[in-house]
């Protein structure tokens, strides 16, 4: 990233604010819920192989809302099974929110939660240092591969933890989304070199295809209202722009040329549609399900 631009992830408070606004302005969680309730049960049906205990890892679990919905579907498919759930999340605030959510939910006594305040790579180091040998039945990595140095190595490591009939679920923005177009155009200016911030499912599928790894993929249609981004000085618009570019205080730190170019791209038909005075960004996601390494 150009030296004058700082990553939004460097300011956790502003990141959480912009992320919450993103969730309010987008159908992100709704499209995930549709997938979890309509498609995920079939994916989960074959895991476990009749075992009475299942091992689960959530990588980048955030505040836990989506995790608990997946665990609920797992429980419906495999009633009577106990679950050991490793939660991996570097944000203390998000982990705290997850714990609060768990404390408010009845009927979770079949799950043992293990809280890991760490990144995916720290968890990998921890796992190797512990020489852990247990195999995992279900691993999910939702919207988190942007924050690792090497997505391919991260996917390979976690896929390698799967036991017989285990499943690894990855959800990321689709290569065909507005994000994909924005990142392909402005990767050099916006994307940090030390993390894989601009990765899409297109990139993940490319390396899986090159290795001959089989997977199932599912498109998750989603959109996001970014109208406020085009009102200069609008506080919420500025937060959304920070989230879209992953740049801290983008409007005030980017060059006028870069800001104008990004705004023009966000409005481009490849990224958004304009309807009833609103600019609706293509926020499509894609889910990829992998089996145990063969």
Q: Which residues of the chain have pLDDT under 50?
A: 1-3
The terminus-to-terminus CA distance of the chain in angstroms comes to: 38
Give the residues across from 138 on adjacent strands. 56, 167
Q: What is the pLDDT of residues 16-64, one digit of tens each?
A: 899 999 999 999 999 999 999 999 999 999 998 789 999 999 999 999 9
Backbone angles phi, psi at 287, to 5 degrees: -105, 140
Tell whether residue 24 is among the known ligand binding residues.
no
Crossing angle of helices 28-38 and 12-25, in 10° steps, is 70
- Two tokens, residue 139: 């691993």
- Two tokens, residue 253: 């730190």
Strands laid side by side in the 162-173 sheet: 111-116, 82-88, 53-59, 136-142, 162-173, 285-291, 215-220
- For position 10, what pLDDT does the model report? 84
Domain boundaries, the chain: 8-291
CB 148 within 8 A of CB 120: yes
Instruction: Enumerate the H helices of the chain as residue ranges.
Output: 12-25, 28-38, 40-44, 65-77, 92-104, 120-129, 151-159, 178-190, 201-210, 235-245, 250-253, 256-267
- For position 194, what pLDDT does the model report? 62
- Two tokens, residue 171: 């959800």
Between the alpha carbon of residue 122 and those of residues 28, 54, 60, 138, 168, the distances in Å are: 27, 23, 12, 20, 19
- For position 1, what pLDDT does the model report? 46
DSSP state of 6: P
Q: How far apart are CA 60 and CA 284, in angstroms?
A: 20
CB 34 within 8 A of CB 171: no
- For position 2, what pLDDT does the model report? 45
DSSP SS3 for 203:
helix
Instruction: Enumerate the H helices of 105-198 as residue ranges.
Output: 120-129, 151-159, 178-190
Tell whether residue 38 is among the known ligand binding residues.
no
Among residues 123, 125, 116, the alpha carbon closest in space to that of 95 is found at 116
Q: How far apart are CA 247 and CA 35, in angstroms?
A: 30
Give the residues across from 220 on adjacent strands. 285
CB 51 within 8 A of CB 137: yes
Is domain 8-291 given the CATH code 2.60.40.10 in the classification? Answer: no
DSSP state of 68: H
CB 142 within 8 A of CB 201: no
């Amino acid at each position: 990233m150009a030296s004058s631009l700082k990553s939004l992830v460097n300011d956790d408070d502003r990141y959480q604010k912009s992320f919450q606004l993103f969730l309010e302005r987008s159908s992100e969680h709704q499209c995930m819920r549709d997938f979890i309730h309509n498609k995920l049960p079939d994916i989960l049906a074959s895991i476990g192989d009749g075992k009475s205990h299942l091992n689960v890892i959530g990588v980048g679990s955030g505040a836990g809302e989506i995790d608990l919905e997946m665990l609920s579907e797992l429980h419906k498919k495999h009633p009577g099974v106990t679950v050991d759930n490793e939660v991996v999340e570097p944000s203390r605030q998000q982990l705290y929110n997850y714990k609060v959510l768990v404390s408010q939910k009845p009927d979770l006594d079949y799950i043992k939660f293990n809280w890991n305040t760490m990144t995916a790579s720290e968890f990998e180091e921890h796992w190797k240092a512990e020489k852990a040998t247990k195999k995992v039945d279900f691993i999910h990595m939702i919207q988190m591969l942007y924050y690792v140095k090497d997505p391919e190595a991260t996917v390979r490591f976690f896929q390698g933890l799967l036991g017989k009939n285990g499943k690894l679920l990855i959800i990321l923005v689709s290569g065909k989304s507005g994000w994909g177009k924005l990142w392909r155009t402005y990767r050099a200016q916006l994307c940090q070199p030390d993390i894989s911030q601009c990765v899409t499912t297109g990139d993940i599928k490319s390396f899986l295809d090159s290795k001959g790894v089989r997977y199932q993929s599912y498109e998750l249609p989603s959109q996001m209202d970014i109208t406020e981004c085009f009102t200069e000085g609008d506080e919420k618009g500025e937060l959304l722009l920070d989230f879209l570019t992953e740049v801290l205080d983008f409007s005030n730190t980017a060059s006028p040329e870069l800001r104008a170019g990004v705004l023009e791209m966000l409005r481009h038909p490849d990224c958004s549609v304009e309807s009833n005075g609103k600019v609706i960004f293509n926020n499509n996601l894609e889910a990829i399900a992998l089996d145990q390494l063969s």
